[in-house]
Amino acid sequence: MDKYIWLIPLLPLAGFIINGLGRNSLPKNLIGVIGSLLVLASFIISIGVFFQIKDTGHAINVTYFDWFSVGKLKVPFAFLVDQLSAIMLLIITGVGFLIHLYSIGYMHHDSGFGKFFAYLNLFVFFMLLLVLGSNYLIMFIGWEGVGLCSYLLIGFWYNNPSYADAAKKAFVMNRIGDLGFLIAVFLIFTYFGSISFADVFGKAATMKSGDSVLVLITLLLFVGATGKSAQIPLFTWLPDAMAGPTPVSALIHAATMVTAGIYMIARSNVMFTLAPVTMDVIAIIGLATATFAALIALTQTDIKKVLAYSTVSQLGYMFLGLGVGTFTGAFFHVLTHAFFKALLFLGAGSVIHAMSNEQDMRHMGGLRKKLPITFWTMLIGTIAIAGIPPFAGFFSKDEILGYAYERSTTFYVIGVITAAFTSFYMFRMLFLTFYGKFRGTHDQEHHLHESPPTMTIPLIVLAVLSMVGGFIGVPEVLGGHHELEHFLAPVFEQSTKIVGSHHHVLHDAETTLMAISVAVAVIALVFAYVKYVSNKRVPVADSEERPLLSNLSYHKFYVDEIYDFLIRRPLDAISVFFYKVVDLLGIDGIVNGFGKGSVWTSRGLRLLQTGNVGFYIFMMVVGIVAVLVYGYTLIG
């Protein structure tokens, strides 16, 4: 399969070019088919590559050309496919294909249909580059490229200025992280003399644990990850990113792009394992983000906002997993999350589609009967994310919590409490949307309908995956073999060696931990049921007062406002000060002062001066010509 790898990213790129150029001339259906089929073709090749790697156990390296080189700094355009990237390829192209298919139905009435598919294809291209790159700069192309597509797609309906603002915010916040990434790359080149993964990790593996260079590099890389994967403090762009069409939220802001940070750290696992300080920072930031975002999700009323904060929170779990050393567990959660979160977003999209673009759950209710497929699939997704066995989320989340327990009981306790929040806000969302009486307008009620097959088929496929996806990582205590762990073992081999043997938790303790987290999830479920189904509670209107904590949560703890006050406004003030005072009055004032000074001193000589610059220049030209002529007469 080696010689077809280049096709994997190139097919979606071709889709971008075809759909981009033909966005106004090609028929909609053709655009949708081209966009989807090309991603499907990439998926099929990815399957071939996956099985080759599974069978041989060898990673594939291919170098195409020198992107650029200066002196010793060489940046080849080269791909690396190993176990880690092979799975990412499957997620990106597989889930990507389903979401393309879904978009044919979802975006059908949009005038920007062609543009939408072009952007979506472009996104897949960049995302594939991100995971295929065999050095940090090719990864960085994908890294920034997906940021661009995110910008374009969040601002897809840019006629709405606040959507355009959301797009800009996402790009800028990502750029803050990217600066960290870039400086890390400089350091990597400085200390390792190369930016190729193979060279860097080979050399890093021989270094001492806790080496300050490694700590610095990994911290900076993590700064990059906080931007792309929406962690504290750079997480506020992701909820705003919900301004984009819902398939975008599913693909970019749930299943793939936002997991890039986790992928990058898992990819660089050798360096991170040797930097325990960084690992602690990652675990703490991840856990804090998971809890903080879950707290906000508890009171949100916009269905997509609930899912957005849920995504931030789940990403936090993944970072917790990385931080406590279970690269496999974190990556396992990337995989299962891709299934159930894509499913939930697409389900939400189906609801929004049926509700004539209504997103406020206070105006929904009782949709179960009208949207049966959407309901059942979303129920499955909700169970999966809540961590109730045997659905996918249970296994991956439990693996992370198990490792967290090993590191610190505090981590574990906070993690479990957050899991309870998760179960609560997810079932809250489900009950508010699908149970009780319909609370929308008559018009909306009249239009309620189940979505077309192009939309429900992806829901069903993802629902199945959310149900069975966890079985690739069943731990031994439950009689499984954790196939995923064995498959990924070569990628994390060095790190495993460094840490020594892994997972000391006894099987007894392991089952107890599982029982606790399941119990907690179920209790939260029941609590939500009692509140929103039995007692028929509906979140209050914005005009009414809320209790203090609920109010803080509903207003997202005013983080945006705090950033605005601490960063944006001071920068704005500095900007105006620099312009009006320093530049115009200060520096330019001095320059003009020189001018005036010379005018005064020359006043005495003014009889010789006409004050006409044109005249001076004329004299200068005469002078130059005279010199030229003089020169030529001498030659002649």
CB 574 → another protein: shortest distance, Å?
6
User: Which DSSP symbol is given to 534?
Assistant: I
Q: Is 62 helix (H, G, I), strand (E, B) or coil?
A: strand
Of positions 182, 223, 296, 463, contacts another protein by CB under 8 A: 182
Is there binding between residue 608 and another protein (CB under 8 A)? no
Among 140, 263, 412, 532, binds another protein (CB under 8 A): 140
Shortest distance in whole angstroms from residue 138 CB to another protein = 9
Tokens of 25: 């001339």
Please state the closest distance from residue 329 (CB atom) to another protein, in A: 31
Of 119-138, which residues contact another protein (CB under 8 A)?
137
Tokens of 128: 């594939």
398 binds another protein (CB under 8 A): no
Query: Which of 45, 102, 424 lies closest to 245, judged by CA?
Result: 102
Least distance in angstroms from the C-beta of 615 to another protein: 12
Residue type, 560: D
How many whole angstroms separate alpha carbon 615 and alpha carbon 601? 20
**What SS3 state is found at 157?**
coil
Q: CB 461 → another protein: shortest distance, Å?
A: 33
Rounded to the nearest whole angstrom, what is the least distance from the CB of residue 617 to another protein in the complex? 6
Exposure of 484 in the CB half-sphere (CA atoms within 13 A)? 24
Residue 440 has what DSSP assignment? Answer: S
Give, in degrees to the nearest 5, the angle at Cα 409 between 406 and 413.
120
Under the binding rule (CB under 8 A), the answer on residue 574 touching another protein is yes
Stretch that binds another protein, among 164-172, 205-213, 286-294, 540-548 (CB under 8 A): 164-172
Select the residue interacting with another protein from 29, 48, 57, 172 (CB under 8 A): 172
Is residue 560 within 8 Å of residue 236, measured between CB atoms? yes
**C-beta of 632: minimal distance to another protein in Å?**
8
Return the residue of 519, 523, 566, 571 that touches another protein, per CB under 8 A.
571
DSSP string covering 426-477: HHHHHHHHHSS---S-HHHHHH--PPPHHHHHHHHHHHHHHHHGGGGG--GG
Structure tokens at 80: 């690396």
> Closest Cα partner for 265 from 205, 179, 326, 209?
326
Among 2, 4, 64, 190, binds another protein (CB under 8 A): 190
Between CA 64 and CA 70, with CA 65 as vertex, the angle to 5 degrees is 145
Which position among 105, 145, 365, 470 is part of the footprint of another protein (CB under 8 A)? Answer: 145
Q: Is 620 in the site for another protein (CB under 8 A)?
A: yes
| Tokens encoding 623 | 């002078």
What SS3 class is residue 75? strand
Judged by CB under 8 A, how many residues of this single chain contact another protein? Answer: 61
Q: Does 564 bind another protein (CB under 8 A)?
A: no
Residue 244 CB, shortest distance to another protein, in Å, is 14
Establish if 585 lies at the interface with another protein (CB under 8 A). no
Q: Does residue 631 interact with another protein by CB under 8 A?
A: yes
H/E element, 70: strand 60-70
CB of 164 to another protein, least distance (A): 4
* Cα 115 to Cα 201: distance, rounded to the nearest angstrom: 40
389/403 Cα distance (integer angstroms): 19
Which of 591, 605, 607, 608 is in the footprint of another protein by CB under 8 A?
591
Stretch that binds another protein, among 249-257, 358-366, 461-469, 574-582 (CB under 8 A): 574-582
DSSP-assigned states of every residue in 91-110: HHHHHHHHHHHHHHHHTTT-
Distance from the Cα of residue 97 to its chain's centroid? 18
Out of 14, 164, 207, 388, point to the residue binding another protein (CB under 8 A): 164
* Smaller CB separation from another protein, 372 or 631: 631
Beta carbon of residue 366, minimum distance to another protein (angstroms, whole number): 36
Alpha carbons within 13 angstroms on the beta-carbon side of residue 482 total 16
Minimum CB separation of residue 156 from another protein in Å reads: 11
Q: Which member of 50, 97, 106, 171 binds another protein (CB under 8 A)?
A: 171
Q: Does 67 bind another protein (CB under 8 A)?
A: yes
Peptide bond into 233 cis (omega under 30): yes
Residue type, 391: F
Q: Let me know: does 364 contact 433? Beta carbons within 8 Å.
A: yes
Q: List binders of another protein among 71-110 (CB under 8 A).
A: 71, 73
**Could you say which of 160, 512, 534, 602 contacts another protein (CB under 8 A)?**
160
What's the min distance (Å) between Cβ of 636 and another protein? 11
Q: 3-state secondary structure string, 396-416?
A: HHHHHHHHHHHHCHHHHHHHH
Cβ contact 404:278 at 8 Å: no
Interface stretch with another protein, choices 48-56, 337-345, 472-480, 578-586 (CB under 8 A) = 578-586
Residues binding another protein (CB under 8 A): 65-71, 73, 137, 140-141, 144-145, 148, 151, 155, 158-161, 164-165, 168, 171-172, 175-176, 178-179, 182-183, 186-187, 189-190, 571-572, 574-576, 578-579, 582-583, 587-588, 591-592, 595, 613-614, 617, 620-621, 624, 627, 630-632, 634-635
